[in-house]
Amino acid sequence: MKNFIALLKAVLILGCFFLNSTKAQVGIRTSNPQATFHIDGAKDNPSTGAPTSAQIANDVIFTASGEIGVGTLSPATKLDVRSANNTDNAIGIGETTQTAAVAGAGAMRYNPLNGGKMQYSDGVVWQDLISAPTKAVVVANIQAANFAIKIPYQVSTGIAGWNEISDPTTNFNSATGVFTAPRTGVYLVSFTYDFVRIPIVSGYFSEARYVVNGSTVVKKCIKSFSNTSKQAQIAGSCVAGVQLNKGDTFQPQIYQSVYNGNLSLRTDTTPASNDYGFINLSIVEQ
């Protein structure tokens, strides 16, 4: 009888364990699991509430739908290593001697031959993994009524209201004239401008300025004028390679020390007009 009671207790305890396990989340090195199975690598998560992005960076989770997150609690794919902390999101992929057919379509490997390269299996052969991202190519001009755009005296002024001709990566805001770099690298920029006709005297000059992140002038192209005492149009251009980091903003600006007041750019909206097509901008990612 005693043995029967002991056995019954054991069955009841075991039954309760399985019942709780089917409904609860399992945590390793944490008493506060955030998913079906949650490993806190550094054991630094709080006992209550949500962990911070820095704390999540060393965690691994398995969701109820079978997705695995490394450094993220919200995996969007079967394996997601995109940590918000962004300190180490690389995935290590090694070599294999398997044929592409044995590895199966969709498999990936590192091939150390010829300097090293990544390859994927199409189910028949190992294909080289080649990446050719769409690069930023901005082409824009200003189409505005005569005397509509004015540049104040000795104030560096950004040009807004561009007519966008090309922008396949949608990194140029035509309304503000601000470009945001999609990747770190060199961008070749060409900018031309022209003012309406005014008298020219000694010491007058204008500048095309390339401004990064709203305040840093990385390039100036200065146009100065001798004492001619004649009516002329103040124009300038600037071509330069600009180094930008991913997320940097860039804007062409004009500084004029020509007229002590608001000086109008030479613009029009009619292609047949003599004042059309003088304000142009191109940005080409190298």
Mean of per-residue pLDDT scores for the chain: 89
Count structural domains, the chain.
3
Domain for residue 87, yes or no? no
pLDDT digits over 23-81, tens only? 479 999 999 999 999 999 999 999 999 999 999 999 999 999 999 999 999 999 999 99
**CA triplet 245, 207, 176: central angle to 5 degrees?**
55
**Shared domain check, 96 and 178:** no
Half-sphere exposure of 191 (CA within 13 A, CB side): 25
Domain for residue 85, yes or no? no
Distance CA 86, CA 83 (A): 5
- CA 49, 54, 60, 61 torsion: positive or negative? positive
Q: Which of 43, 58, 80 is the last residue of a domain?
A: 80
**Shared domain check, 281 and 161:** yes
What's the CATH code of the domain at 178? Answer: 2.60.120.40
* CA-based nearest residue to 51, from 67, 74, 21: 74
**Shared domain check, 120 and 15:** no
Domain for residue 99, yes or no? yes
Strands (E), 19-148: 26-28, 37-40, 59-62, 68-70, 79-80, 108-111, 117-121, 126-128, 137-141
Domain for residue 260, yes or no? yes
**Shared domain check, 22 and 100:** no
What is the model's pLDDT at position 21?
45
**Shared domain check, 272 and 146:** yes
**Shared domain check, 142 and 48:** no
**Shared domain check, 143 and 60:** no
Range of the domain at 11: 2-80
Provide mean pLDDT across the span 2-23.
46
What is the model's pLDDT at position 17?
41
**Shared domain check, 258 and 166:** yes
**Shared domain check, 60 and 170:** no
Is the pTM higher than 0.75? no
**Shared domain check, 71 and 39:** yes
Q: How confident is the model at residue 230 (pLDDT cuts 50, 70, 90)?
A: low
**Shared domain check, 141 and 216:** yes
Domain for residue 161, yes or no? yes
Residue 111: pLDDT over 80: yes
Domain for residue 100, yes or no? yes
**Shared domain check, 215 and 141:** yes
Domain for residue 219, yes or no? yes
Residue 229: pLDDT over 70: no
Q: Radius of gyration (Cα) for the chain, nearest Å?
A: 32
